[in-house]
A and B are shown apart, each in its own frame.
Chain A
C-alpha cells in the first residue's frame, strides 16, 4: 500500500468535488482528487446553456465555462488530480481505498477523510425494446454532441419534459438535429416554463399525458410508438401513434450514485424528495461513517448551484475537524453557505428539496 501524503480524498470532480477542493486548498489541506472522466467538471462540461441561480454561483454563465472558473479557486500545489481513474472501493475503519488508475492498474491508498461527490446516474423506464441501440439517456446525448462534437441522431423522440429534457431538446436544435416530438407522461411539463417556451416557439411539439409504448427496430432504433394516458395514467386504447425516428432520448430523471458510500458501510434512508434511497448525512454533509462526507447530486438530485455549496460545506467541515482554520472563521463561512442554500431553495421548485431535507434531519439512520 502507498504511504499517503494526502489529507483528504475527493471522489468526483464535478461542481461539488471542485468546490470541496477549493475550500480545502484554501485552508492549506492536501487533497487527492480522483475522477473517472478524462476532464474535470462532471455534468458541467456538456451544459452549453447559461445557468440559473444567483451571480455568486455563476448564474448567467454557460455551464461549460464554470469548471475553469472553479479551478481558478484551487491552489494547484495542494491538489493532485487523477483523471480517467475510478475509485472502486472504500474499506473502513482505516478508509483504505482502491483506485483503478488510468483504467489500467489498481492502487491502494488510505485516507482519514473522504468526500464522495460522484453525482447521479440516469433512470430507465419500461417499454418494449427499451434496450435497442439508439436509445440513449439525455446525458449520453449531451456527451456525444457537446463534448465530442458528434450529431447523436437525425430525428429524435425526446421522452420527458423536466428541465433536462427541455434543455437537451434545445441543445439538439443547436447541434442541427430535428426533435420530432417531446412527450411527457405527466399531465403537465415538469421543468421551467422558460425552457419549454423556447423550444415550443422554435417548432418542437410538446405532448403531455403521453408515453412511449415501444421502440421499433431489430438492430437499432427505426421508430417508436407513443400512446396517450388518461387522468389515472392508464393508456388510452386507439391513441397509439407511430413516429419515424432514428434515436430515442430518455430524460426520465436521475438517481443519486452512491454505491461507494454503501460499500463503505454508510447507512441509507429512503427519501423520495431527494431521489429515493440516499446515504444518511448530517448538516455538515458527514455520513454515518466517521470521516466520510458526501455532497452534490450523490446525496440528493438537485442543481449545480446547490452541489457547489454542499461541496464547500463538506470541505469546510473537514477543515474544522482538522483545525486548519479557527473554529470561529470556519463557523462563519459555514453559516454563509447554509444561508445561500436556504435562499436557493426558497422558491416553489425548492419546496420538494426542503421537504426532503426536513425529513432527513428528522430521521436518524437506524
Chain B
C-alpha cells in the first residue's frame, strides 16, 4: 500500500523516520504511526496465523477490538499491533496460533 500524497482535506505531517524489523527484514516507517500501518505500507498484510484454522489473518478493526492483528512484538506475544505505535529498533514477528511466552 502507498502513502497518500495529496489529500483535499488532510495534511499528513511526517515525523522522524525510524526503523523496525519484521521477520528480520528492516522496515522504514515514521514515529507516531502504528505497527500495522508501517507493515501495510511495506506490503505486509498477513499478520498472524489463526489458532485453529491456520489460515492467514490480517487487520480488521484497527481500533483494538477484534484481536485479528495479534503479533509478537519484542518477544511478547498477543500484542494488538493496530493500536501500538512503532518504536525505533522494535522487532515484530508473525504469530503462529497463540504465540509463545518467553521467560526473562
CB-defined interface of A106-135 with B at 8 Å, one 1/0 digit per residue? 000000000000000110000000011111
- B40 to A149, Cβ gap below 8 A? no
* Chain A residue contacts of B84, Cβ below 8 A: 84, 103
- A150 to B66, Cβ gap below 8 A? no
Interface size bracket, B side: 35 or more
Supposing A103-B84, A219-B46 touch, asked if A48 and B56 sit within 8 A by C-beta, the answer is no
A152–B37 alpha-carbon span in the complex (Å): 10
Q: Is B33 located at the chain interface by the 8 A CB criterion?
A: yes
- Give, as a whole number of angstroms, the nearest-CB distance from A198 to chain B: 14
- B62 to A137, Cβ gap below 8 A? yes
* Chain A residue contacts of B53, Cβ below 8 A: 131
- B62 to A136, Cβ gap below 8 A? yes
- B79 to A103, Cβ gap below 8 A? yes
Closest to B65 in A: A121
**Chain A contacts with B in 176-228, Cβ cutoff 8 A:** 176, 219-220
- B37 to A148, Cβ gap below 8 A? yes
- A133 to B57, Cβ gap below 8 A? yes
* Chain A residue contacts of B85, Cβ below 8 A: 38, 84
Q: How many residues of A contact B (CB 8 A)?
A: 36
CB-defined interface of B8-43 with A at 8 Å, one 1/0 digit per residue? 111010000000000000000000111001001100
- A148 to B33, Cβ gap below 8 A? yes
Q: Is A235 located at the chain interface by the 8 A CB criterion?
A: no
A174–B5 alpha-carbon span in the complex (Å): 11
- A36 to B3, Cβ gap below 8 A? no
- A149 to B63, Cβ gap below 8 A? no
- A149 to B59, Cβ gap below 8 A? no
Q: Which of B32, B60, B83 contacts A135 (CB 8 A)?
A: B60
A149–B3 alpha-carbon span in the complex (Å): 6
Supposing A148-B34, A152-B1, A220-B46 touch, asked if A84 and B83 sit within 8 A by C-beta, the answer is yes
Q: Is B50 located at the chain interface by the 8 A CB criterion?
A: yes
Q: Is A25 located at the chain interface by the 8 A CB criterion?
A: no
- B57 to A131, Cβ gap below 8 A? yes
Q: Is B45 located at the chain interface by the 8 A CB criterion?
A: yes
Q: Which of A37, A121, A149 contacts B10 (CB 8 A)?
A: A149
* Chain A residue contacts of B41, Cβ below 8 A: 150
- B7 to A134, Cβ gap below 8 A? no
- A150 to B59, Cβ gap below 8 A? no
Q: Which of A136, A174, A219 contacts B59 (CB 8 A)?
A: A136
- B57 to A151, Cβ gap below 8 A? no
**Chain A contacts with B in 136-150, Cβ cutoff 8 A:** 136-137, 139-140, 143-146, 148-150
Closest to B45 in A: A133
- Give, as a whole number of angstroms, the nearest-CB distance from A121 to chain B: 4
- A150 to B40, Cβ gap below 8 A? yes
A146–B8 alpha-carbon span in the complex (Å): 11
A270–B6 alpha-carbon span in the complex (Å): 45
Q: Is A236 located at the chain interface by the 8 A CB criterion?
A: no
Supposing A122-B61, A149-B10, A151-B1 touch, asked if A144 and B45 sit within 8 A by C-beta, the answer is no
- Give, as a whole number of angstroms, the nearest-CB distance from A83 to chain B: 10
Q: Which of A151, A220, A257 contacts B2 (CB 8 A)?
A: A151
CB pairs A–B below 8 angstroms (10 shown): A38-B85, A122-B60, A137-B61, A139-B61, A140-B61, A148-B37, A150-B3, A152-B40, A153-B1, A219-B56
Beyond A144-B59, A149-B3, 4 additional contacts (C-beta under 8 Å) are A135-B58, A140-B82, A144-B37, A175-B7
